Structure 1
C-alpha cells in the first residue's frame, strides 16, 4: 500500500467517526412523554376552558422545561410556559364567537434539549353554540335636537334586548361635528348611558350626527343608534346704540326719563338700584334712633316709542336730596338725605348698557302747560325738548308720533 492510499483511508475513517457522534449523542438522550388534559373537551362559543400539559421522562416529572402551545381555532394563553416541579403547565383556551358549532385542536410541544428528546401532545375540542345571539336595539335620545354654537346638551343611549335592558355593556359614541364626553361607557342597570355633546363654534346653520354603537358579544348581536342635530349661530346680544337721560342733571324731587336705542330688542327693561343715604350733625344718626335705609332694587319695562324704530323709553320717579333741620335737647340738628341711582339696560335678557346719577340739591321751578305735544322723532333727536315738562308734581302729558300712533307718558311740573 502506497502512502497516498493510506492517507485516503485515514480521512475516510475520521469522516465516519464524525458522522456517528450525533447519532451516538441522540441515543444517549432520555425519552420524554407529553400529555394534555383533558385530551378532549367541549366549550361554548366565546367561553374559556383550562388545560394542563404534563412533561415526564421515564415517569419522572421534568421541571423548568419550556413548552409551546397553539390552537387551530380560537386562542391560548400563554403560548409559552415553563414546567413546575410536577412537570406541569396550565393554559387557558378561549373559543371564538361563532354562530354554528365548530371543532378545534390545542397542541403542546417540547422541543427537546441535549438531555431529553422532543415530544408533543394534542387535545381535540368541540365548540358548541347552544343558543343564537339575542338581537339588541340601541336608541339615542333625543333622536333630534337643536343647539347653539358652542352649547352643551345631554344625550342618553338605551340598550335593550327583546324589550329588556342590557346591563354592563360597552357603548361607543362618535360625533361627526363637535365633541362627546365620555367617548365610551358601560350601560347601567337600566341599560342606559348618558353623555354630554358639545357643539362646535359655527358661523351659520350646521347639521351634525351623533352615533352610538354596541359591538355585540357572544350572547348579544351588535346594534347602533343615532341622533341628528341642528347647530345655529350663537345669538349675539343686542347692543345699546344710545342710552340717554334727560335731564342730565337731576335735582331733588325731579323725575328723569331714560331713552335707549337698541338693536333687535324684543324684551327691553331697566334694572334700577336706589341708595338713600342719611347723615347728621352734630348728633350721629344712630343717636337719633335712625338707621341707613336698605338699597331699593326693582325692574321697570321700557316702552317702545311709536314711529321711532329701536327706541324705548321709561321713567325713574323723583327722589330727595335735601337737608332737614330741627332742634332737640337744645341742639340744632341737621339731617342730610341724599339719593343715588344706578341703572342697567337689559335687552333679551342680556346686559347692554349702564349709567347712573346722584340727585342734586335744589329744585326746578317752572310753570308747564297741561299737555305738551311734540313729534316723537324730534324728542329722539333732541331729548332736551321735553325738559320743560319736568317739575315736582305729576301732570299727564303726551308725546304724539306721526299718524295715529301715540305714546302716553307721565309729565311732572311744580305748582
Structure 2
C-alpha cells in the first residue's frame, strides 16, 4: 500500500491542460487563461478579466496508473452583497471519457461584489485540496474539468503513480465563442454546460471561448480565434450587444464583417457556423441595456429587465430580432464567396415552446435542464447527419 510519502508531485504545465489559450505562472502555481496575454493587454474591463480567467471547458488531462489523485487549487469565489452564499465551484472527473466523480475545493480567495454600486473587494485565502480516490486499477486517461464559473489557480497535482500527458485523441477541435450562456452560466457543472455536452455528443475536442458578458465583437477576440488551431468554428452573436447597448445597426454590420474577416485570415476554409441568439423574451423587440432587478436578491433571486424603448429600433438600436435578421443576411451575402460559412437561428436551440416549459429563471440565462436541451439540439444540428460539422459533410 502506498503511503503519502510515496506520492508523486507533478508540476502542472501546459501539456497537461486542454482548452486554455494561455497559462500564466503565478505566486501559487499556474492560472489558465482563455484569452492570450496580448488580448488581455488590450482591454481593462473587469468583467472580461473575470470571465476569461474562469476556466470553462479547461481540463487537466493525463495518463496514469494512479488510483488516488489530489489537486491543490486556489479558487477565487464570488460573494454578492445582500445575496445568499454561492455554491463552491464544481470539478468533474472523467476516467477514459466516462464520468467518475465530482468535487469542490474549499477555501480560496474571496471576491466580494456589490452590484448596486459596481464596487468589489478581493480578500486572499488559502488553497484547498480536491481528492479523488478509488480510481480503477491499470492505465487510464484521467480528465479533471475545472469549474466553469470559478477562477482557479492550479497549485499541485499529486498521485500515487506517475503521470504523463495523455496522447492526442485524434478528434477534431471545435472552437466556440459566445456569451455567458456559452460560458455556462447556471449550468450544473463544467461537463454539463451546453458546449461541453454538445462536444461530448459530437465526439470533438472543445475550446470554449464563451465569455460571460463579453461576446462584443472585440477585435482582440477575433484575433484569438484566428490564431487558434481548429477544425470547426462556431460563433454565437447577439445577446451581449443588446445587454450592453453597445452599438447601433450602423456599427453592428461592419463589426460582424470585420470579425469574420479576421477569423478567415487564419481559417480560410474551416467550417464556420454563425448562430443567432436563443429566445430571450425581454429583448426580442426591446433594446437594451439590461438592468438587474435586486428586489429578490435576499432570497437568492436575481432577475433582469430590458430598459430600452421598442420604438428606438427605428433609430438603429439593436434587438434580438433585428440581430437575427441582419446575421442571416450577412451570412447569406458572404456565402456567395464562402461556401463553408453557415447560419443557424438560435431559436432552433431554445425557442418559445422551450421558454414555456423551461423558462429562463433570471430572464436571461438557461438553467441546467435547458443547458442539456440546448447541447443536445446543437449536437444534432451541427454534428448530426447532414449537419455542417458532420463527419460526412461535403469537403470544402
TM-score by length of 1: 0.22
Structure having the larger proportion of residues in helix: 2
Structure having the larger proportion of residues in strand: 1
Q: Larger RCO: Structure 1 or Structure 2 (Cα < 8 Å, ≥ 6 residues apart)?
A: 2
**Could you say which structure has the larger radius of gyration?**
1
